[in-house]
């Protein structure tokens, strides 16, 4: 595999690049369906930019600006022809991820972190293990200083304004000190003052560290003109001009298009490079004029494209240094550790609204609900009604564990998932590392919340005082909780809408409960196809464990009429004059399950069901890992692209 040779000068070259891909949707039907026609998006594009230079790619909407950046980054969908070289080395996705960076138009950061925390974890996820923690911390401080973020270092990401948020997103990519950084519309949503600030910072970064910076913009302002070393004008995929900014005015003046004295030259020549669609006559006239400009530059533009910007024009002396990307990537263990630490940092950041809500959802919601169940079921009757009441209590515990696990997951996971999609495209880490870190980080939290909730029910009610029985009860519920969490994360991998993913996961949970638990409908009463379907539902095994644990050795209880006299029901009686339905717990289980012969364990094999309950949880976890390894179809991935 080709690697970039470290040098004091870097050159990014595009030679005769063509790219075919999806065109912009032009009809209402295409916009509704989400499909558009395929065509040539870039046509014979040749560009050159050197270290220490800031180049702006200018063009109207649909001109091919973003596609050009995607082609350089090897992200574009569709065939590409031509050469893309970095210091003479063909650009591959691996080379780009190792030595370059890309800042998309949309960047979603974790709002529960502070600015400093965001950069700290990004540094430990991207800078190689050979670099010491001290150097990484120093790099974080340097980036905050370069991007004017020192004053908001301890502010939550949720409280940053648009400019600070955008600079923080840029800072995450600058931490690795990439040789080339591409930015898609970095000033698109900023006011003039902050636009000037961001462009000046990027220009300063290019010259100070001898790096290549390429940005796209649709509405360039005149005050950023001095910061642009090169410009590239695109019109419908064709290059109208590319080269040094200081030579642009002379070039177009020589062609008979001088810029008026008080006009913004960047915008003036952008309008010249844009098709006028206000009328058919203007459309034809502007199209012919642009075609002539494209042909002219294709024949005579090589000297302008190859002309290097004089280093005498730089406002400061360039620092030639080894980029941090040369030190490789962190180890898998470091990536897992930092992903877990970052997730916990959001949870324990109680000064943030996101942190407080996650703390409640992930640790307190289930115990609070179980406390309400304890209030409702506190005085369990010691008569025949106890069978139905205990069945209702166990069903409520099982259902609450499933449904609240879904609720907490859809509240927490989407932000982490979106961040994963963006960071994995940058090569920070990949699917298995993400889902493994998510599962490990969630493990102690789910254990803690289920343990607390189970203790409220088990020790707060006349269930049992045996700690071992409490462990069986809590571990059974935890397996269900973790299974539903993994299932919901798997659905969120495919479905962007949290609401739709939650509804789907809840629907599946309801099916599991009503079909397989034997708490709503007795197993013997199920049709054969539903009975065999219960074998592939986790609730069958979890409910069987809970039912057998609490009813197998249940002693005879008096009827409602005889409860005050404490007269037990005679053995084997059902709906007798005594008002008894169940003579004991085994008699109750015989009604709910297939129990035909002693020791009545056709459907109730306690330890087998206990093990299968955990087997389902493990199987869902490994299925989630596989789902994050297998490449997803393009139409699924496109939902999450920024």
The alpha carbon of 572 is separated from its chain's Cα centroid by a whole number of angstroms, namely 59
pLDDT value for 518: 85
Q: Per-residue confidence at 314, pLDDT binned at 50, 70, 90?
A: very low
Distance CA 552, CA 544 (A): 11
pLDDT value for 24: 61
Q: What 3-state DSSP class applies to 42?
A: strand
Above 70 in pLDDT, residue 351? yes
pLDDT value for 390: 82
pLDDT value for 278: 84
Above 80 in pLDDT, residue 326? no
Residue-wise DSSP of 235-274: ETTEEEEEEEHHHHHHHHHHTT-PPPTTS-HHHHHHHHTS
Q: How long is the chain?
A: 642
**What is the CATH number assigned to the segment(s) 11-25+34-108+178-301?**
3.40.50.300
Q: What 3-state DSSP class applies to 20?
A: strand
pLDDT value for 503: 96
Question: Mind listing the pLDDT tens digit for each residue in 242-280?
Answer: 999 989 999 999 999 999 988 899 999 999 999 888 888
Q: Per-residue confidence at 27, pLDDT binned at 50, 70, 90?
A: low
Give the C-alpha distances (Å, rounded to integers) separating 415 from 102, 109, 373, 421. Answer: 20, 8, 31, 10
pLDDT value for 36: 59
Above 90 in pLDDT, residue 181? yes
Non-local CB neighbours of 317 within 8 Å, separated by 6+ positions: none
99 touches 32 (CB < 8 A): no
Helices (H), 34-174: 65-72, 93-99, 115-126, 133-146, 162-174
Distance CA 264, CA 221 (A): 7
Looking at residue 48, the DSSP 8-state letter turns out to be: E
Q: Per-residue confidence at 389, pLDDT binned at 50, 70, 90?
A: confident
Structure tokens at 302: 């090589």
Question: Mind listing the pLDDT tens digit for each residue in 429-475?
Answer: 999 999 999 999 999 999 999 999 999 988 887 666 678 989 999 99
- Determine the Cα angle at 513 with ends 511 and 519, to 5°: 140
pLDDT value for 529: 87
Identify which of 446, 464, 349 has the alpha carbon closest to the alpha carbon of residue 401. Answer: 446
Distance CA 123, CA 336 (A): 14
pLDDT value for 251: 92
Question: Mind listing the pLDDT tens digit for each residue in 69-107?
Answer: 999 999 988 899 999 999 999 999 999 998 999 999 888
The alpha carbon of 4 is separated from its chain's Cα centroid by a whole number of angstroms, namely 30
Non-local CB neighbours of 309 within 8 Å, separated by 6+ positions: 50, 52, 53, 229, 230, 244, 246
What are the extents of the domains in the chain? Answer: 11-25+34-108+178-301, 332-640
pLDDT value for 462: 66
pLDDT value for 552: 74
Residue-wise DSSP of 440-463: HHHHHHHHHHHHHHHHHHHHHTTS
Q: Per-residue confidence at 604, pLDDT binned at 50, 70, 90?
A: confident
Average pLDDT over residues 10-35: 72
Structure tokens at 385: 């009604």
pLDDT value for 300: 86
pLDDT, averaged across the chain: 85
Distance CA 525, CA 537 (A): 17
Looking at residue 177, the DSSP 8-state letter turns out to be: -
pLDDT value for 592: 80
Q: Which of 375-379, 463-467, 551-555 has the highest mean pLDDT?
A: 375-379
Residue-wise DSSP of 378-435: SS--SSTHHHHHHHHHHHHHHHHHHHHHHHHHHHHHHHHHHHHHHHHHTTS--HHHHH
| Least trusted range by pLDDT, from 22-26, 283-287, 379-383 | 22-26
Non-local CB neighbours of 259 within 8 Å, separated by 6+ positions: 249, 252, 253, 265, 268, 269
Above 80 in pLDDT, residue 143? yes
pTM score of the predicted model: 0.86
Question: Mind listing the pLDDT tens digit for each residue in 506-540?
Answer: 999 999 998 888 888 888 888 888 888 889 999 99
pLDDT value for 322: 66
Neighbours of 233 (CB within 10 A): 26
Question: Mind listing the pLDDT tens digit for each residue in 153-170?
Answer: 999 999 999 999 999 999
């Amino acid at each position: 595999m080709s690697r970039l040779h470290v040098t004091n000068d870097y050159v990014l070259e595009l030679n005769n690049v063509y790219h075919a891909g999806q065109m912009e949707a032009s009809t209402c039907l295409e916009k509704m369906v989400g499909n558009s026609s395929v065509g040539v998006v870039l046509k014979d594009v040749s560009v050159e930019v050197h270290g220490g230079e800031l180049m702006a790619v200018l063009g109207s909407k649909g001109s091919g600006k973003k596609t050009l950046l995607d082609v350089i980054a090897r992200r574009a969908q569709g065939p590409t022809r031509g050469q893309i070289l970095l210091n003479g080395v063909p650009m591959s996705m691996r080379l780009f991820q190792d030595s370059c960076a890309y800042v998309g138009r949309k960047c979603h950061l974790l709002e529960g972190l502070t600015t400093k925390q965001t950069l700290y974890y990004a540094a430990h996820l991207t800078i190689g293990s050979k670099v010491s923690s001290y150097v990484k911390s120093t790099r974080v401080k340097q980036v905050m200083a370069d991007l004017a973020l020192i004053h908001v270092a301890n502010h939550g990401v949720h409280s940053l304004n648009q400019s600070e948020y955008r600079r923080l997103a840029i800072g995450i990519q600058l931490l690795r000190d990439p040789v080339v950084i591409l930015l898609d519309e970095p000033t698109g949503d900023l006011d003039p003052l902050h636009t000037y600030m961001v462009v000046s910072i990027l220009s300063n970064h290019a010259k100070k560290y001898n790096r290549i910076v390429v940005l796209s913009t649709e509405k360039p302002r005149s005050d950023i003109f001095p910061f642009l070393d090169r410009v590239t004008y695109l019109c419908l995929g064709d290059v109208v001009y590319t080269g040094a900014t200081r030579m642009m005015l002379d070039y177009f003046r020589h062609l008979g298009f001088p810029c008026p004295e008080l006009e913004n030259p960047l915008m003036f020549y952008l309008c010249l490079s844009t098709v006028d669609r206000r009328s058919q006559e203007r459309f034809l006239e502007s199209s012919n004029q642009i075609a002539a400009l494209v042909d002219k530059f294709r024949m005579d533009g090589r000297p302008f494209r190859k002309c290097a910007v004089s280093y005498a024009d730089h406002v400061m002396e360039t620092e030639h240094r080894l980029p941090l990307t040369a030190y490789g990537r962190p180890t898998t263990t470091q990536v897992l550790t930092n992903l877990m630490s970052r997730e916990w940092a959001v949870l324990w950041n109680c000064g943030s609204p996101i942190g407080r809500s996650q703390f409640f959802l992930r640790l307190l919601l289930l115990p609070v609900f179980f406390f309400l169940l304890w209030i409702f079921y506190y005085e369990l009757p010691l008569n025949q009604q106890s069978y139905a009441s205990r069945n209702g209590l166990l069903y409520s515990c099982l259902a609450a564990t499933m449904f609240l696990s879904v609720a907490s997951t859809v509240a927490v996971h989407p932000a982490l998932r979106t961040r994963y999609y963006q960071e994995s495209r940058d090569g920070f880490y990949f699917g298995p590392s993400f889902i493994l870190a998510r599962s490990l980080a969630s493990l102690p939290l789910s254990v803690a919340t289920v343990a607390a909730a189970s203790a409220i029910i088990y020790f707060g009610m006349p269930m049992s005082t045996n700690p071992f029985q409490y462990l069986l009860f809590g571990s059974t519920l935890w397996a269900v909780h973790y299974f539903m969490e993994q299932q919901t994360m798997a659905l969120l991998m495919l479905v962007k809408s949290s609401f739709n993913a939650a509804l789907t996961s809840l629907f599946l949970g309801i099916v599991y409960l009503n079909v397989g638990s034997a708490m709503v409908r007795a197993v013997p009463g199920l049709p054969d196809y539903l009975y065999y379907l219960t074998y592939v539902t986790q609730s069958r095994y979890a409910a069987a464990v809970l039912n057998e644990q609490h009813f197998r050795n249940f002693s005879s209880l008096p009827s409602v009429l005889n409860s005050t006299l404490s007269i037990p029901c005679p053995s084997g009686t059902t709906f007798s004059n005594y008002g008894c339905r169940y003579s004991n717990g085994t008699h109750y289980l015989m009604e709910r399950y297939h129990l035909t012969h002693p020791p009545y364990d056709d459907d109730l094999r306690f330890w087998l069901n206990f093990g299968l309950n955990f087997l389902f949880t493990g199987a869902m976890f490994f299925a989630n890992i596989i789902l994050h390894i297998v490449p997803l179809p393009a139409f699924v991935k496109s939902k999450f692209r920024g």
